[in-house]
Amino acid sequence: MPQYSLELGDVVKNLICECCGFPVKRVWGFVSKDGSAHAVYYALLAEHPPERWVGLTLSVGNWWDEKAVETRQWVHLQARNMDGIFALRVSEPQESNFYPWERGGKPLSREEALVNKLIEEFYAVADYVNVEDPAIDSFLSGKEVNIRGRVCEHSDHVEYGGESSIKPQ
């Protein structure tokens, strides 16, 4: 069984959603597998009451070599808490606010991802990230976003050191 480890990005960005004007948060991190750089993710924590979800843009492949972009593939997943269970859905890459993400490698459409040999790895990494990243886990659990270990930066580029603007309804 592979051993994953997580390195959190150091900032929680507070942004305003371009399509609806609601506040959202963005976090990111790096996942190692058996000691090697394996995946990078960007997560957009969005809430349009009563809906709450995470848009997870996840790239898997050779991240220990910056020039190895052609070895990487990425998907966009939606994660939700459905009656206490984290549910994942593969979405189209254009739904990611990181599209097009050249450094992430080849974007996979929903159809391509579902038949890709890496689909179980995408799910395993996403499951690990959803539980181990305190911001994502707290958000999906319906709690205030836990920014422990990160600085909170607002769209005005001011760091506020710990206040979360997204609180449970």
pLDDT digits (tens, 9 = 90+) for 55-93: 999 999 998 888 889 999 999 999 998 888 889 999 999
More confidently predicted of 157 and 88 = 88
Q: What does the pLDDT average to over 107-114? A: 98
Give the model confidence (pLDDT) of 19-34 as tens digits: 777 889 999 999 999 9
pTM, entire model:
0.87
| Segments making up each domain of the chain, as ranges | 4-154
The pairing of beta strand 151-154 with beta strand 11-16: parallel
